[in-house]
Structure formats: C-alpha cells, structure tokens
Amino acid sequence: MPLTKAEFEELKKHQYCDNESCSKYGIVGGGNIKTHSFASGQGYCNCCKGKPFAMRKGTMFYGLRTPIDKIVHILGLLCSGMGQNAICRSEGVTNDSIRSWIILASEQVSAFSEYMQKDMHLSQVQIDEFWSFIRKKRKLE
C-alpha cells in the first residue's frame, strides 16, 4: 500500500543512511535523506548517493501492506480496551493481522511507547494497559 504524503514525510524525518562509509552514517535528521520515489515509498542518501531504500526500513511497518494510520488506529483501539473480535468486525481485519501487529509493536517497545505517548496522545495508564494486554496475549499462546 503506498504511503500517504504525511506518512512519507514523517518516516523521512526518522531515517538515516545505513552506508558505513558515508559521513552521515547512522545520523537521524542530518538533512541528507531525500525522496527517490514517493510512489514506491523510497528515499536515498544525498551525501553518498547510495542505493534507494524503503522509507519503512527500520520500523515495525517494514514489509507491511496495510496503511500505517490503520495499524496505529487499531492498536489504539486495543489500548482503549476494545476487544480484538470487535475490532476485527468493525475494521475489516483478521485476528492474525492484529496478532502480528501486536508482536511487531512488542519487538520495538520503547520506540512504540514513545510514539503512542507523543503522536497518539495516550496517557501512561493507557500505554501500560496496552502492554499488559500484550503480555496476557503472549501467555495464552
């Protein structure tokens, strides 16, 4: 699924050059990441002119076809206490999809928690509730 302009720009702000020989290697916000193809969601390093890469690289969204805002919305519904089956019915997604997004989010706990607090405007209590829900789900599997 193509990225929206807002998603593309947000991901671009958090990208870095992964070419070890580049002077901007690993620097987030160095101003060196440019758009290679908006349609295919790719960027490149303007400093070393390296190979184009997917803007979702290094994020929990890498390789997913579902729009980022939909995944975030569904994870937010889980945070607010809505049941997984109800979410599946109302949002038109499968339990397996939700389960895989939960696992991806849990693998990047600190980054996703920061995102939930800043960008989703969730309280610490809601974030804690989300992670306790995740722990409970993992014990059941």
Backbone phi, psi, residue 29, to 5°: 75, 25
Based on the fold, state whether residues 24 and 80 are members of the same structural domain: no
CA distance 80 to 90: 15
> What does the pLDDT look like over 37-46, one tens digit per residue?
888 888 899 9
Domain region containing 123: 68-140
Based on the fold, state whether residues 36 and 81 are members of the same structural domain: no
Q: What is the mean pLDDT of residues 74-79?
A: 87
- Please check the confidence at residue 131 and state whether its pLDDT lies above 80: no
Asked if 66 and 53 touch (Cβ cutoff 8 Å), the reply is no
Strand order in the sheet with 53-54: 33-37, 42-45, 53-54
- Please check the confidence at residue 96 and state whether its pLDDT lies above 90: yes
Based on the fold, state whether residues 124 and 94 are members of the same structural domain: yes
Full-model pTM = 0.62
CA distance 39 to 87: 30
62 domain residue, yes or no: no
72 domain residue, yes or no: yes
The domain total for the chain is 2
63 domain residue, yes or no: no
- Please check the confidence at residue 57 and state whether its pLDDT lies above 90: no
Place of tokens 């302009």: 5
